[in-house]
């Protein structure tokens, strides 16, 4: 059996392929370009996969404000290409999405799958459009997740934990945002949950629709950074700042904690708390993180 994983060189795509082993068909640039409709259809027709997991995305949140066409081409239009190909093959599609679709005022609790979305910025709006495109395929799962960070031995991955460790070694004080609430999530846990939803466990595939998959609990980027340095045994001065002080080009959600109850009701692998997940990352860490 074959599971096609687009964006297979990325953090989540690479981990899915690792967990799938010989079942994974790795699809990524330059040989596989999601914006090439004919090429996508031909590649999937040759593979005839049991399912397609789309991890490919334009994720440069700030740059998307200057390159909206590129973001929309990958995050939205390309999903429509996959939908048409999956329709021809009658195979399911897993579309990986983001907490950024919730950019509006907090409802005072974690966001549920059926809560109204309010994306802000090109990246967020294009990812929501990708969800909507995926929903045109009857056999689809949309998986929203947040703040991914890969295994420590994934040397090609760029993520918040690695960035903090690199900056912390420079010995300078750091300024990290403290008014954005979210749940950073460890890629191996998210990948395991995605494969459960897609039926790679013994329970068969989950009902179609949208699922929230993150580690448990909530934190801020400031508090997460402080936890990273505690685990690393590094004495780094971290100053809390506001989103306004950070002054990024693209808006960020002030509160994007996701409710994972729908996923957990299915009896899938438990998503540990963000604290336990970070401890697992450091337990697996070998040598100097570069």
Which pLDDT score is estimated for 288? 46
CB atoms within 10 A of CB 22: 7
Say if residue 71's pLDDT is above 50.
yes
Helices (H), the chain: 11-20, 37-47, 68-72, 78-89, 122-134, 160-169, 187-197, 221-232, 243-246, 261-265, 274-284
Over residues 260-284, the pLDDT tens digits come to: 999 999 999 999 999 999 999 999 9
User: pTM, whole model, 2 decimals?
Assistant: 0.96
Over residues 168-193, the pLDDT tens digits come to: 999 999 999 999 999 999 999 999 99
The pair of three-digit structure tokens given for residue 122, joined into one six-digit string:
């090109």
Give the gyration radius of the chain's Cα atoms: 19
| Inside any domain, residue 230 | no
| Inside any domain, residue 232 | no
| Inside any domain, residue 225 | no
| Inside any domain, residue 166 | yes
Of 57, 75, 44, which Cα lies nearest the Cα of 11?
57
From first CA to last CA, the distance across the chain in angstroms is 36
Domain count, the chain: 1
| Inside any domain, residue 268 | yes
| Inside any domain, residue 252 | yes
Residue 53, domain CATH? 3.40.50.720
Which pLDDT score is estimated for 290? 47
Which pLDDT score is estimated for 286? 66
| Inside any domain, residue 89 | yes
Which pLDDT score is estimated for 86? 97
Catalytic residues: 123
Of 77, 74, 78, which Cα lies nearest the Cα of 58?
74
Of 24, 1, 22, which Cα lies nearest the Cα of 194?
24
| Inside any domain, residue 238 | no
Residue 16's domain comprises 3-220+244-284
Which pLDDT score is estimated for 202? 61
The pair of three-digit structure tokens given for residue 71, joined into one six-digit string:
């973001």
């Amino acid at each position: 059996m074959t599971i096609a994983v687009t964006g297979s060189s990325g953090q989540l795509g690479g981990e899915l392929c690792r967990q799938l082993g010989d079942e994974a068909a790795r699809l990524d640039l330059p040989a596989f370009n999601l914006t090439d409709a004919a090429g996508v259809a031909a590649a999937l027709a040759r593979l005839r996969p049991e399912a397609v997991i789309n991890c490919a995305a334009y994720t440069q949140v700030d740059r998307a404000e200057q390159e909206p066409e590129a973001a929309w081409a990958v995050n939205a239009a390309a999903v429509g290409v996959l939908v048409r190909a999956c329709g021809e093959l009658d195979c399911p599609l897993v579309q990986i999405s983001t907490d950024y679709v919730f950019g509006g005022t907090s409802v005072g609790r974690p966001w549920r799958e059926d809560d109204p979305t309010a994306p802000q910025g090109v990246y967020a709006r294009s990812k929501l459009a990708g969800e909507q495109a995926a929903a045109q395929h009857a056999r689809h799962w949309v998986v929203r997740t947040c703040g991914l960070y890969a295994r420590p031995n994934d040397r090609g991955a760029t993520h918040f934990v690695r960035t903090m460790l690199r900056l912390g070694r420079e010995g300078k004080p750091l300024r990290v945002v403290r008014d954005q609430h979210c749940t950073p999530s460890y890629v191996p846990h998210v990948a395991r949950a995605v494969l459960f939803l897609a039926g790679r466990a013994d329970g068969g595939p989950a009902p179609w629709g949208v699922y929230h998959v993150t580690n448990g609990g909530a934190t801020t980027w400031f508090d997460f950074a402080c936890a990273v340095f505690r685990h690393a045994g590094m004495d780094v001065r971290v100053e809390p700042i506001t989103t306004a002080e950070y002054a990024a080009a693209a808006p960020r959600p002030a509160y994007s904690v996701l409710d994972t109850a729908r996923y957990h009701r299915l009896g899938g692998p438990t998503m540990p708390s963000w604290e336990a997940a970070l401890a697992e990352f450091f337990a697996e860490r070998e040598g100097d993180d570069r």
